[in-house]
Amino acid sequence: MMRLSDFERYQRENPFMDYNHIEIVFVESERSQVRMAITPSGRNLNGAVHGGLLYTMVDCVAGVTARADGRNYVTQSAHINFLQNVANGILFATGEIIRRGNRVAVVHVKVENEEAILLADASVELYCLDT
């Protein structure tokens, strides 16, 4: 299992998470969370959070959650339901392992705002690159 300090290094060296202002909140063996403050550049033309940014949070937290076992994963497939949206505040994406096999991990992800309003619900399958 990776230590939190390993994930602090992972975040420092991850330019995509940095570019999107996504920070790791916590990492446990089967669960993790990231957060992001909504900025003007993260909004769509209607003034709400861009769906691609919600998906980005889902993908990032799924990867962090899967990597808690110390192995390297890439996203194999994902399904996301966009349920509601907001224009301001802080968003939290929480990932939880549903199944961890030898090659594939399945992570359930919920994206909520600070008022616990569910914005997106997703299932992400990640493929383990380590043999």
Token reading at 76:
């194999």
80/56 Cα distance (integer angstroms): 11
Average pLDDT over residues 41-46: 96
Domain 4-128, classified CATH 3.10.129.10, yes or no: yes
Please state the φ and ψ torsions of residue 62, each to the nearest 5 degrees.
-65, -45
Residue among 81, 56, 70, 57 nearest 105 (CA): 70
Residue 4 has what pLDDT? 55
The strand pair at 104-113 and 90-100 is best described as: antiparallel
What SS3 state is found at 42?
helix
Residue 13 has what pLDDT? 82
* pLDDT digit string, tens, across residues 90-126: 999 999 999 999 999 999 999 999 999 999 999 999 9
